Every structure is written in C-alpha cells, then in structure tokens.
A and B are shown apart, each in its own frame.
Chain A
C-alpha cells in the first residue's frame, strides 16, 4: 500500500504512457508487416501510400501462385506436429521415471541431456549431410526432419515435463502401484490427467520451436520436405520489389505461431531457463 501511495500524480500518468509507447514500438515491425501485406507490391513502396491505401487481399489469394505457400506450410505442419508427438511419446515415460523413481544418476542424466542442446549445430553440419545423403538416403524427407526436430527438442521437453511431474505428490502414483495398475495405466489414467496443463503447454512450446527452427530444416532439405523457414529464406527479395506479397507470406508463416505463443508465456520461462527462474 505504502508503495502505491508514494507514486506522484505525474508518474501515475507518465508510467503507463511510457509502458504503452515501449510496447507499441516493439510491436511495430509486426504491425507493419501485417499492414504491408494488404498493400499491392506497387503501393507498398510509395511514400504517399504509407498509411492510407486501398486494402487488397490479392497477396493472400496469390500466395499459392507466387510462392507455392501451401506446399511449404503443409510440410511445416506435418513435421512440427509429428515431431511434437514423437517427442512426447519418448519424453513422457522418461520424465515419469525420472520424477517418480529417481536414481543416483537421474540428475547427471538430466544435465547430460541438456548439454546435448548446447552443441553448436554447425559443428556437425557436414556429418549430418553425409550420413543422411550418402549413407542412409533419407536427406530431404519428412522422416529426417521429424527425427531431427524431435532430437533437438527432446532435452527441453523432458526437462519441462520433469519439473511438472515433480509437483505431483508421489503418494498418488504409489497408490496406483499398490493397486497393481500397470505402468502404462499409471501414465495414461493417473499422471496425464493430473499433469494435463503441463503436458499441453510443453507440447505447445515444442510445436513452436519446431515451427521456427531455421538451421536443420534449411540445410537438410531441398524441395520435398522444405518448410516455411526455407521458403522465406529462399525468397528474400533483395530489391524490395515484392514487399506486399513477401509480407503476406511472412504474416501467414508467423501469425498462427504468435497467437499460440501468447497462450504459453509462463511455460516459456520454465522451458527456456530449465526451471532455474521461478
């Protein structure tokens, strides 16, 4: 209370105004991209049409024709969805075992898993290309991208699930064990319903990371499994001739993810700091 009383009248008005100005500045590039996406390519670079212009949906309607958008978008959806599912299928049992039956080594195993995340991707670029192209023949397949996306997100997913599962009282799980419920039954009927929120937000965050991944999805694909990251990187339009259509395809690529992101801000903190900031 005392703290509130201390704020002067000036700061009561200036403070929120400043906060709003900062927020609008940060959001401006996104707003500008969305706005430009409704301009024709010609209008997009005319100073007189900066704010006032004839809005058009032409850029969105021509996305398929201009960029083959849906092919890339479908690849992004397929790889991100299946990578998320696969990561959870592998990650939930592992996190369950670590949270409820920890051994002496659990801590070390978790730390080691995290350390794999810190390996710079570029260091293993050529071996990955060599293995997948010459040896396994899975270069530029959905299978490969799903596998790689799963592997780079597995440590974070296990970590997040582990912190959620640890919150659940051990007695509940043990009671299930007494009653002779199978491990699968425990996970399916007791654990998942109890930790539903945690599992869902972990999945959401994993999906977002998969969708935005920009190194392996670009370097390990050519056409068949190319995702939206590859599409945008391949169409950077150096001369600014296509600002309108480029904005439309960019908006379509990031819009849904930004909205999903709004719903998992809190989990993001946990997921990215590995539970070290609460």
Chain B
C-alpha cells in the first residue's frame, strides 16, 4: 500500500463519524428554522409535518428576535457565564498561588481541591440546592435558625439584652425564587469549576522562570510586584484559555438550571430552546442557530489560540 493511502484510511472513520454528527443534525436545525413546524396544532394540522411548503423565510428568526423571553435568556446566559468566569478566575488565581509553595500535606490539599470537578452536574445541583442552600432544612436554614436562637437567648440577658434586642432576626434566603435562582446556579458551578482553574494555573505556575523570580527578589521586589509583573503576564495565556473553555461549556448549562428552579429566574438559551421544542420547533431551531452563532464568537478566538501551539 502506498505511503499516502494508509494514513488517510486510518483517519476516515473518525472524520466521517464527526462529519455526519455535525452536518446532519445542524442541517436539519437550519432547515426547520426556515419553515413553520409545530408538533401539535388543531387549527393548522399541515404545520405538524416538516415540509418545504410551509416555508417561512426568516419569520421564525423574527419571531424569536421580538420575543422578550429570548432577550431575557440571552441576558441570563451572559450574566451567568460572566459571573462564573470572574469568580473562578479570581479564586483560581489566588488558590493556585497559595498552594504553589511546598507545605506539609500539599498532596492531600490538591486532592481535596480538585474533587468537586468530578462531581456529576446533576448531583452537584441536587446537593447544593437541597442539602446546603435550602432555607428551612438545608445547612443555610439550620444555620439561620441557630443564629436566631442564640440572638433570642442573648435578648434575655440582664443589661445587655436591651442592646441585642436592637438586632433584627436573620431571614433565610430562598434560592429557588426568581430573584435568586441565578445566584444559586452561579454558586454551584463556581464551586465545581474553580478546581479546573486552579489546576490549569498551577500547572502553568510550575513552568514559571524561577531564576527571573529570584533576580527580582534580589532586586528588592515585594511579593505583590513579583506577582503583578512576573507571574500575571506568565499566566496571561492560561487565563485566556480558562475563560474561553468555560464560556463554551457554561453557555450550554442545563442540568443545574433544571434542578434549581426549572428555568424560573435563570432561564438561559439552552433552556429556552428546550421549552420551545415542546411544541414550536421552528422557533426552537431559530433560537438554536442564534446559540450556535453566540458560541462560535468565542470558539473562533479559542481555536486560533490553540492552533498556534499545535505543531510546535
């Protein structure tokens, strides 16, 4: 066999599988986004089968674009993703620097820190919203009730009681409510993904130029200016990568949204698509195409960055 055919032959199954996986469903979404297509309609039964005769042009896109729910979903998607990124990168940086020194039990600390990343999303959400954040039975509820009880006891004290009766009772926060459910999602995903940021930054810190650092110390640079002028520039690339990978992953958050409040107050684009898809397939598909565009904006930058290091 010639030198060229064999390598191609070996790649063919992988390429073909991915090609079909990408093109067929995406092509169908594109097609559905241009036709009137609903699953149930007593009035217009002809719309329940996908067909070119129900062509709607950009009608579905217009419908979605003018839908308040769509903009709210974009807002929620962007708000949730940006908050998670800011929190994970800040925490990740701080903790990576913290454990970059050697100290007793560093191996165990690393193991403890990385663990949340391997928890499956459904368990993460169930664990946080029930056992930790629940306003009555979760740790939050128990803690608030406990503090209120202590306060009540202090109010009965002679003399000092008058002072403590000025303090209000604490009220637990319900994290399933419209105003707060997005924060619950941000909190649980941040918990899960900070380990990822730590791991990446830590790996990168280990390749930092130590001689340069020692020179800076001899020159009398303090810890902050070392971090600011040497470490942070060194981490520029890993930070960019952590930001982009998380953006892509978190733009498709679903399980956490579903479990926390079924989209009440935290409905993002994937969740909106899921809701449309229970009946209005045309609108779901048009929203899907918008989601693809949003993800691609991030993906292009990421791929460029990875591409540069590919063949070194």
Q: Chain A interface (Cβ within 8 Å of chain B)?
A: 2-3, 6-7, 15-16, 18-20, 22-24, 26-27, 29-30, 32-33, 36, 45, 47, 50, 90-91, 93-94, 96-98, 100-103, 107, 109-111, 113-116, 118-131, 150-151, 154-155, 158, 183, 208, 211-212, 214-215, 218, 228-229, 232-233, 235-240, 243, 246-247, 250, 253-254, 257-258, 260-262, 265-266, 268-269, 272-278
Q: Is the pair B245, A240 in contact by a Cβ cutoff of 8 Å?
A: no
Asked whether B259 is an interface residue with its Cβ less than 8 Å from the other chain, the reply is: yes
By a CB distance below 8 angstroms, the chain A residues around B131 are 29, 32-33, 36, 240, 243, 246-247
Q: Is the pair A47, B120 in contact by a Cβ cutoff of 8 Å?
A: no
Q: How far is the CA of A260 from the CA of B6 in the complex (A)?
A: 36
By a CB distance below 8 angstroms, the chain B residues around A247 are 127, 131
Nearest B residue to A151 via CB reads: B21
Within 8 A of A (CB), among B243-294: 245, 248, 251-252, 254-255, 258-259, 269-271, 273-274, 277, 281, 284-285, 288-289, 291-292, 294
Q: Is the pair A269, B117 in contact by a Cβ cutoff of 8 Å?
A: no
Q: Is the pair B132, A29 in contact by a Cβ cutoff of 8 Å?
A: yes
Q: How far is the CA of A180 from the CA of B102 in the complex (A)?
A: 51
Q: Is the pair A103, B7 in contact by a Cβ cutoff of 8 Å?
A: yes
By a CB distance below 8 angstroms, the chain B residues around A123 are 26, 29, 273, 288-289, 291-292
Partner of A212, one of B101, B118, B270, B305: B118
Q: Chain B interface (Cβ within 8 Å of chain A)?
A: 3-4, 6-8, 10-11, 13-15, 17-18, 21-22, 24-26, 28-29, 32, 95, 98-99, 101, 103-106, 108-123, 125-132, 134, 136-139, 142, 145-146, 191, 194-196, 199-200, 203-204, 207, 210, 213-214, 217-218, 237-238, 241, 245, 248, 251-252, 254-255, 258-259, 269-271, 273-274, 277, 281, 284-285, 288-289, 291-292, 294-296, 298-299, 302-303, 305-307, 309-311
8 closest A-B pairs by CB = A123-B288, A122-B270, A124-B25, A261-B118, A127-B28, A16-B103, A97-B7, A101-B7
Q: Is the pair B137, A127 in contact by a Cβ cutoff of 8 Å?
A: no
Known: A93-B10, A276-B306. A124 touches B288 (CB 8 A): yes
User: What are 19 sample pairs from A and B whose C-beta atoms fall under 8 A apart?
Assistant: A6-B217, A15-B103, A47-B145, A97-B8, A115-B299, A116-B21, A118-B296, A119-B26, A121-B270, A122-B254, A124-B288, A125-B274, A126-B29, A127-B32, A128-B25, A150-B17, A254-B123, A269-B200, A276-B306
Chain A nearest CB: distance from B190 CB in Å?
A: 11
By a CB distance below 8 angstroms, the chain B residues around A235 are 126
New contact pairs (20) apart from A103-B4, A243-B130, A272-B200, CB-CB < 8 Å: A2-B214, A3-B214, A23-B99, A45-B137, A47-B145, A47-B146, A102-B311, A110-B310, A119-B295, A122-B273, A128-B25, A183-B6, A236-B125, A240-B131, A240-B136, A240-B137, A261-B118, A265-B110, A273-B200, A273-B241
